[in-house]
Amino acid sequence: MSKSGFLKNIKSDAISGIIVFLIALPLCLGIAQASGAPLFSGLVAGIIGGIIIGALSGSQLSVAGPAAGLVAIVLGAIGALGWEAFLCAVIVAGAIQILLGLLKAGSIASYFPSSVIEGMLAGIGLTIIIKQIPEALGYDGEGHERMVGAEDGFTIDYVTSSFSHMETGAVIVSVIGIALLMLWTTKPFQKLKLLPSGLVVVIAGVIINQIFKMQDSELYLGNIHLVNLPIASSFNDFFGQFSLPDFSGFGKKEVWIIGVTIAAVASIETLLCIEATDKLDPQKRYTPTNRELKAQGIGNILAGLIGGLPITSVIVRSSANIHSGAKSKAATIIHGTLLLVCVGTIPAVLNMIPKASLAAILIFVGYKLCNPKSFVHAFKEGGWTQFIPLVVTTIAVVSLDLLRGVGLGLVISIIFLLYRNMRVPFFFRRMKHKESELVEIKLAQEVSFLNKASIKTALYRLPKNSKIIIDASDTEYIDFDVLDLINEFHDSHAPQMNIEMSLVGFKTSYKIPKAKPVELLRGNMPEMEDSDHTSGNYKQLMEELDDDHGPDSKN
C-alpha cells in the first residue's frame, strides 16, 4: 500500500483502530486464559494479527488474532504436548496454510450460500449479546471473569446466573454506554460523527468509575471488573514474556497431527470470516482468499516462533472494525501497533477501563449483526429456501459453535437444493387428439440420480399407444442410473405398451439407441382445432396423467 493510500482515510482508520484495540485487548487475554496458555501469548497473537497479517492480507477490513473457536483444540494440545512443543504445532499449521494458499484452496469460501453466511453473522451477533450480558451486569463468578469471543457457543446458565449477582455500578456504566451508542445513531448527533461513539463510551466508563472511587461509593468497580493487563517492570521483563518453541517437538507425531487440525479449523474459520466481512463491507470489496491463507500462514509461523497463540481472522473484531468506520487495512495495522506499544508502556492506564464499557460496545455491535430486518428481508426476497437455512444457522451457531453451526446450515441449504433439483427434472409439452397422444420431455441441464424416481414415475404412467420424445439437447450431464432407466424403458416397457419413443440430443458417449425420426412421431398427430395443447413442469404432467388415466396409471 502506498503512503498516500495508507494515509487517505487515516482519521477514520485511526479512530476505528483505537476502538478495535480496546476490544481486542481483553479478548486476547481472555482467550489465552481459556486456552491454558500464558496471557502474554494472546497479546502476541493479536499484535502479529494486526501488524503482520494486516499488512500482508488482501482484505481491507478483516482483523486477525487469537480465536475462541480454537480454544478447545489449543487447551487439549497444550495439556498433551506442553507449551514449548505446542508452538511447533502452530508453526506446522502456518506452513500448511501457506501450502493451501499456493494450491488455491481458498476458493472453498465461494461455495457457502449467502443465507448461511448471514445466519452465521446473526448467530455470532446474538452470541456476542448473550456472552456480554454477564460483563455488562458485573457478574464476577467463575467462568465470567474473562471476556471471550463469540465463535464457541454458550450455555444458558452463563446468563441466568448473572442476574442473581449484578453489580449496580457495572449496570450503570453499561446502560449509559449503550444509550450513548444509540444516541450517536440519531440525526442530532450526526454532527459529532468525527468523535467516535465507542471511544466516548470507553472514556465515559472510566470517568464514571473514577467518580465512584472519589466518592468512596459501593458502586466503584474493582480490579476484577476492569481490563487486566500484565504490567512489566522493565523492558527486559517485557521481552522476557516472549516464548521460544522446543524444536525437538517436530520429531513428535502428535505435533504434526495437531498442526494439521489447527490448520484445517483455522483456515475454515478465516475463510468464513473473510466471506462475512466482504458482505459487511460498505464498499463491497473482494478479498483474494488464497492470498489470505498465505498471510495467515506466515502469521502463524511467526506466532509459533515467538510464543503466540494460533491466529485466524475473527468476525467479532472485524465487524467492530467495520461498524467503527474503518475504510482500509490501516485500521487493523493501527490496532496491532497500539497493542504492541501500549502493553509495553501504559498498561496501568488501560487497566482503568471497565469491562462493562467494552461489553456495551460489543452488545451494540451484536445487535447490528442480528438485526431482525435481515430475517424479514431474507423471507421476502428468498422465501423459505433462504429463511430456514438462515434461522437454522443462527440458532446452531448460538447453541453449538461457529463451525458446527455453519456446517448444519450448509446441510440444510444442500437439502433445499436437492429438493428443488428433484422437483424440476424436466419440462414437457403435451398434445392430445382423440386417441392419439404425444408427450415431448425436455430434460433439465443437470439430471442426477436424485431425478431417477420422478422420471421413472412419469415414464411408467404414460398411457398405452402414446408417443414420447425425450430431448437432451440442452443437458450437460445425465447420471448413469437415469440413462440406464431410459434404456430399459425404451427396450422393454415401451414395446409392451405400444409406446413409440424417440431419444434425441443425447451425447454419443451415452450409448443411447438410435433415435426414430421426430418428424415421424409428430406427423401422426394432426394439428386440428380440437387438439389439446399443454406444457409445464414435472408436477403438472403428473397431475394431468392422473386426471386423464385414473389411479390405475399409478401402479
Amino acid at 433: H
Which domains are present in the chain? Answer: 11-371 (no CATH), 424-554 (3.30.750.24)
In the prediction, which pLDDT does 146 show?
43
Bin 284: left if φ > 0, else alpha if -120 < ψ < 50, else beta.
left
Mean pLDDT of 447-473: 85
Confidence of residue 140 (pLDDT cuts 50, 70, 90): low
Confidence of residue 432 (pLDDT cuts 50, 70, 90): confident
Q: Is residue 46 pLDDT above 90, yes or no? A: yes
Mean pLDDT of 270-285: 88
Amino acid at 244: L
Residue reference for cell 493501527:
334
Q: Which of 38-42, 71-75, 355-359, 517-521 shows the lowest mean pLDDT across its residues? A: 517-521
pLDDT tens sequence across 310-357:
999 988 789 889 988 899 999 999 999 999 988 777 777 878 888 888
What's the mean per-residue pLDDT of the chain? 83
Q: Cell digits for 403?
A: 463451525
Mean pLDDT of 401-420: 81
* Nearest to 32, CA basis, from 117, 146, 121: 146
- The count of other CB atoms within 10 Å of the CB of residue 53 is 32
Q: Cell digits for 508?
A: 454419443
In the prediction, which pLDDT does 206 show?
92
* Nearest to 293, CA basis, from 94, 535, 82, 77: 94
Q: Is residue 33 pLDDT above 80, yes or no? A: no
Confidence of residue 424 (pLDDT cuts 50, 70, 90): low
* Nearest to 336, CA basis, from 2, 21, 41, 56: 21
Distance CA 289, CA 281 (A): 15
Q: Which of 388-397, 401-410, 490-499 shows the lowest mean pLDDT across its residues? A: 401-410
In the prediction, which pLDDT does 423 show?
61
Q: Cell digits for 53?
A: 497479517
pLDDT tens sequence across 494-533:
889 888 888 888 888 887 877 677 766 666 555 544 556 7
In the prediction, which pLDDT does 145 show?
41
Proportion of the chain above pLDDT 70, given as a percent: 87
In the prediction, which pLDDT does 153 show?
53
Mean pLDDT of 151-177: 78
Q: Which residue has the higher pLDDT, 1 or 9?
A: 9
pLDDT tens sequence across 200-232:
888 899 999 999 999 999 999 988 888 777 777
Helix (H, G, I), strand (E, B) or coil at 300: helix
Helix 330-345 with 10-34: angle, nearest 10 deg: 60
- The count of other CB atoms within 10 Å of the CB of residue 414 is 12
Mean pLDDT of 144-151: 46
> pTM to 2 decimals?
0.66
Q: Cell digits for 447?
A: 439430471
The CA-based diameter of the chain, rounded to the nearest angstrom, is 102
End-to-end alpha-carbon separation of the chain, Å? Answer: 70
In the prediction, which pLDDT does 147 show?
42
Distance CA 128, CA 108 (A): 26
In the prediction, which pLDDT does 520 show?
65
Q: Cell digits for 476?
A: 450437460
Distance CA 130, CA 162 (A): 11
